[in-house]
Amino acid sequence: MTAMASGSKDAIEHWNNWPNEKGFDPEYEQPNPIELEMTGHIPNYAAGTLYRTGPGKSQVETEQGHVFKLSHWFDGFSQTHRFQIIAPDAFDSPLRILYNSRFSTDKRIEYIRKTGSLNMMSFGQRRDPCKALFNKAQSEFVPSKGPSTTNVGVTLSVNMPGFDHRAEESADRWTGSKGIRNLYAKTDYNEFKRLDPETLEPIGLATQTQLHPELVGPLTASHPRSDPVTGDVFNFNLEVGAASTYRVYTVSATTGKTSILATFSGNPAYLHSLLITEDYVLLCVWNSHINPLKLADGFFRESILPTDPSKPATWYVIDRKHGQGLVATYEGPAFFCFHTINAWQEPSPEEPSKIDIVADLVRMDTSDFIDLLYYEYMKSSLPSAKESIANRKDHLLSTITRFRLPALPPTPTSEIQKASVEWSACKELSPELPTMNPNLGTKRHRYIYSTTFRGEATLTDGIMKFDCDKQESQLWACHGHSPGEPIFVANPDGTSEDDGVLLSVVLDGMRGTSYLLCLDARNLKELGRAHVNGAIGFGFHGQHVPIQGLPTGDY
């Protein structure tokens, strides 16, 4: 496998022929399920339901005669997608795939169409110079707060415990599509949107306060973690102020009850994900610290302070089984991260009687990468996008990095210990949106899958498999095709960690349409495609719920 260096002349020439506009402003919506045309094949064990979510439209034509444009990809008006993968009912029948999708913010879009203004908290919207011009229209048309007014759509949770919990849910959590009792969209803000699992219609809103009255802070992680055995869910709530407070909590999959595991003060930060091991919750406050005053203005990106390499990342270790709360704190090299991958406990190499925590994640040197995700730098037809890809700097590329937190103390301590980097790899591929075999959660894993940025497109240009033991990678790539997060579906009869398939929604930029791609996870050989009749927007995350077994995704 050879990877093209970011910013090279060859890369720019390739990228000039890699159109991606439809992936950032899709108009295609399919409210009623339709059957997709198949080429190749998808193994029967992949049967189940695949949900995807992410930005849909980014522009709205207004009644004032101008086009309202969102600034940042993270603010795209959310759209949810559902692929029903149906196993054959006869030996000689083919596997079938049905697809439907729905835009989730119709009332917010209608508000913008009438007023020409977003008028809501956003991640990175540029300040609107026309806002004063449309104040009268805004005062005459104020939408009531509701699920189709609120833009929530970064990650998805299927059968999330805590809200509308019923005792019988604990008996058999995963029984295929008929066992999908609820579907929630999430974001890094303390708000959840409930969706109909079949029609994808937005039907309700919730907050963490409904889980526990002390979870009053505005920020949380889009990626909670779920215990692969019990299904219990772990996340944090951040109350921002003069002295900011983190509350790490768990929701029981059996009872639906929420318990706060630890409460402590710390630097407020934008934290998109966290980790768990068999016995601990691992919350790393990396270098995306927040200015509380700017956060209060409603412009989230402006509140994130520049990365200060002199300030260490702080790792908090919280007991999740025995009520000991915060048991240890580590400090390590400064970095920025969106996505953690996995963590586990193992005996310390130097002192086998003690326990180390090992954590894998996708690391960047700086949070400046967030600014590359403004639409002006991603839509391939724009001159600023050409400049962005040509000038991509080394510090803006990502690596898979393994951290070690050594010699976990046997009893809680306030003494600060040192975390270290064990290795970093794959910078030439700049991986993101990492996934793995869900059966290895909280256990030592060997393989990681992710999208790549090799400099051939403004967003993604391939799918990678990385072998952590051998430090080797494999690549699937097709010129002009931009893949989304590869979701691993395990072969229930498999004998190895990588025995399964990857499912990824890919935009064919040449045709302007998307397809569901199926790859053999062992060698990234293409097995099949299910062709969609339009362009699916570049999404963030999803979850596959098999007919039986463990769903893929942190929820």
Which residues fall in the annotated binding site? 223, 272, 339, 541
Alpha carbon distance 96, 4 (integer Å): 37
For tokens 């060698």, the residue is 523
Alpha carbon distance 350, 355 (integer Å): 10
Q: Cα-flanking dihedrals φ and ψ of residue 134, to 5°?
A: -110, 20
Concatenated DSSP letters for 264-283?
EE---B---B-EE-SSEEEE
Strand order in the sheet with 192-195: 155-158, 183-186, 192-195, 202-206
Binding residues for Fe cation are: 223, 272, 339, 541
Alpha carbon distance 87, 81 (integer Å): 19
- At 532, list the tokens: 């969609």
Which residues, listed in sequence order, are joined to residue 437 by a DSSP beta bridge?
Answer: none
Give every CB contact of residue 464 below 8 A, 6+ residues apart in sequence.
Answer: 426, 429, 431, 449, 450, 451, 452, 473, 474, 475, 476
Amino acid (one-letter) located at 376: E
Do the beta carbons of residue 504 and residue 71 sit within 8 Å? no
Residue 138: exposed, middle, or buried by beta-carbon count in 10 A (0-12, 13-18, 19+)?
Answer: middle
Residue 96 CA: distances (Å) to CA of 41, 44, 100: 10, 10, 14
Do the beta carbons of residue 338 and residue 432 sit within 8 Å? yes
Alpha carbon distance 308, 399 (integer Å): 19
Amino acid (one-letter) located at 431: P
Which residues, listed in sequence order, are joined to residue 282 by a DSSP beta bridge?
Answer: 275, 317
CB atoms within 10 A of CB 520: 16
Helices (H) and strands (E) in the chain — how many of each? 6, 34
Amino acid (one-letter) located at 354: K
Residue 38 CA: distances (Å) to CA of 28, 94, 491, 516, 517: 19, 9, 21, 9, 10
